[in-house]
Amino acid sequence: MSDKKKSIFADKNIMIRALKDSFVKLDPRVQIKNPVMFMVYVSAILTLVLFVFALCGIKDAQPGFILAVSVILWLTVLFANFAEAIAEGRGKAQADTLRANRKDVTANKIPSPEKKDKILQVPSGNLVKGDIVYVRAGEQIPGDGEVIEGAASVDESAITGESAPVIRESGGDRSAVTGGTTVVSDWLVIRITSEPGESFLDKMIAMVEGAARKKTPNEIALQILLVALSIIFLLVTVALYSYSLFSAEQMERPNPTSVTALVALLICLAPTTIGALLSAIGIAGMSRLNQANVLAMSGRAIEAAGDVDILLLDKTGTITLGNRQADEFIPVDGNDKRELADAAQLASLADETPEGRSIVVLAKEEYGIRERNIGQMHAQFIPFTAKTRMSGVDYDGNEIRKGAADAIREYVVSRGGTFSSDCEDVVTTISTQGGTPLVVAKNGKVLGVIHLKDIVKHGVKEKFADLRKMGIKTIMITGDNPLTASAIAAEAGVDDFLAEATPEAKLSMIRDYQAHGHLVAMTGDGTNDAPALAQADVAVAMNTGTQAAKEAGNMVDLDSSPTKLIEIVKIGKQLLMTRGALTTFSIANDVAKYFAIIPALFVSLYPGLQALNIMNLHSAQSAIISAIIYNALIIVALIPLALKGVKYREVPASKMLSKNLLVYGLGGILVPFLAIKLIDVIIVALGIL
């Protein structure tokens, strides 16, 4: 993916493209997609026609005034186009990079996994769903698929931006591969799972480019509101013109209200600010997800993430580190703790599992016990097997074994030893606390127990507390027994847990919460997660997961980080907050415009309206020009906020609403008063009017 830290405004290519697109978007077929800005577009054309008529002697107002209004309205349209184009800019740049990585390579098509020697070389574009291909080291994977045989390192940097190769193998949850990635070592036999033009890379290009972005329900609802407001203001403007004609006739005076001035009033009163930025806000939200290496398959999913109030989180890799670590050596029957640590370390020297290495580290940290020279010990290491459920080492006539409690009990009893009640109590206590007990015995005698525990990730308890403040309930999903699950849930600070989770149990839980009006989000990577992912409102599939999981989800995390779900929820909430804040600001802006334009239009008919000119604007024309200049410039000023989003904090919704109303509601009232007055002063000082 492209550089995430570089500002979009600092990218010369994106800026040049956005400026060009601002003019390309003047096409009426593009403008009509945004009804509010289409009204500005039509008004700009109308004032331009009035200017031509004024030059021909048919005067609505002074030609210079009409031209000034027309130019400012055209700039307003261009600024709105630029906001949308700059929001699309990063996505288009990403799409260009992805297109460069998409090549039509030669694929080694084979009839079956057993017939790798019968290769038929075909263009990758000719592959269809169900074809089987053989990919060797150094070759590019020709299409999306499922590994059905082999294991290999795959370079996925073209998709994820990460340079480190990942392992892809048949079976399990790491069998999905993406077209355009490269096999670094070994070989794979892959069954193609997508039709031409429908690959993951094709979908990704369409999504990041914005071509496949559809307006979300909330966005559509807001646009309907904006259109309704615009229609109301249009009717008000027409009514004001009729009233102006009637008043002028009754007072036997010329009508002071020109069509140009009323057009300026209409554009100032219509919610043009949010109308101009609405599309940019939605595109920027999707772009922020792309920068987080998450591909959203629909805008609806991003919006739903902002309303989520239930999070289902896998324990392993999300809440815990994923590997049990040695936490404590507990001697039994009066044995020495150092002797237990030494025996446990010796039995783990050849154990390369994370658990085994953690035992060696703990012995070193607690007692300074160093690793022995395996070669000099002439030791015979006993590997762990599923049948014996223990491992160990034989050296110099000594036997050390470590393993599950019942396996060590059987081993000790077979050698004439005893498995004491003291040891039983320790084993039970560890299990109750959610840990895993490993019993250590030397020469048929139990020395003690190693307490292995799931290490809860640093900071997750605080994150869950923040989510709770936001009104989001967290639920841990695990295959552990209820006792273990309860202990880990308490330590991590989650609100609830689902132990001994099955696909049916996950699906049932999600449906139950949805039936009670909740919006549910979850992550998953396996085929057994697919039903629950398909049911969840926000379903984040891991890129390393199976094809079934990726197809069931409405988002794909390219980094395959289970904790990404929390970040996605924050981005979704930030999108909704940004849209709400700018809508509030846009509507609040109208108050100042009333005081700027209404007195300017009717003060000659009703001198008493001069009291409403609280900004003491110089003249009617300068008031109108100042108001529409502000109306155009505020769009440009708010583009960075629309793209970056309103700063998000983990606080209760009521507190967040109060703060935003204060900042964007009150600010939306005060800012235009100051800005319009400043513009009026500058216009007069420069002698423009």
Between the alpha carbon of residue 677 and those of residues 91, 593, 627, 671, 681, the distances in Å are 39, 11, 9, 10, 6
Handedness of CA 287, 291, 296, 302 (dihedral sign): negative
445 annotated to a ligand binding site: no
525 annotated to a ligand binding site: yes
Burial class (CB in 10 A: 0-12, 13-18, 19+), 514: middle
351 annotated to a ligand binding site: yes
**Rounded to 5°, angle at Cα 168 from 162 and 169:** 170
List the structure tokens of 288.
Answer: 């922020």
386 annotated to a ligand binding site: yes
Closest CA to 617 of 600, 603, 604: 600
Contacts of 177 by beta carbon, 8 Å cutoff, 6+ apart = 141, 144, 145, 146, 147, 154, 168, 188, 190
Query: Do the strands 398-403 and 390-395 form a parallel or antiparallel pair, or are they unpaired?
Result: antiparallel
What are the CB-based long-range contacts (under 8 Å, 24+) for 408-412? 408/439, 408/440, 408/441, 408/446, 409/439, 411/441, 411/444, 412/441, 412/444, 412/445, 412/446
C-beta separation of 615 from 680 below 8 A: yes
Q: Residues 144, 314, 327, 680: which is the catalytic one?
A: 314
d(CA 506, CA 536): 10
419 annotated to a ligand binding site: no
**Helical spans, DSSP H, in 589-652:** 590-602, 620-644
How many helices and strands in the chain, by DSSP H and E?
A: 25, 21
Between the alpha carbon of residue 322 and those of residues 354, 455, 456, 465, the distances in Å are 10, 8, 9, 22
Is residue 314 annotated as a catalytic residue, yes or no? Answer: yes
33 annotated to a ligand binding site: no
DSSP state of 313: E
d(CA 149, CA 129): 17
Burial class (CB in 10 A: 0-12, 13-18, 19+), 76: buried
385 annotated to a ligand binding site: yes
d(CA 96, CA 209): 9
Q: If you write DSSP's letter for every residue of 514-580 in order, what string do you get?
A: HHTT--EEEEE-SGGGHHHHHHSSEEEEETTS-HHHHHH-SEEETT--TTHHHHHHHHHHHHHHHHH
Between the alpha carbon of residue 248 and those of residues 207, 569, 603, 630, the distances in Å are 56, 58, 12, 30
Tokens 């048919």, located at residue = 58
Classified as helix, coil or strand, 192 is: strand
> Following CA atoms 595, 601, 606, 612 in sequence, which dihedral angle do they give, to the nearest 10 degrees?
10
Write out the H or E segment, with its range, that includes residue 339.
helix 337-348
387 annotated to a ligand binding site: yes
Q: In this structure, how many other beta carbons lie within 10 angstroms of the beta carbon of residue 163?
A: 8
150: alpha, beta or left? (left if phi > 0; alpha if psi -120 to 50)? left
Q: Which residues are catalytic, by number? A: 314
| Residue list for the binding site | 351, 355, 384-391, 402, 525, 529
| Residue list for the binding site for ATP | 351, 355, 384-391, 402
| Residue list for the binding site for Mg(2+) | 525, 529
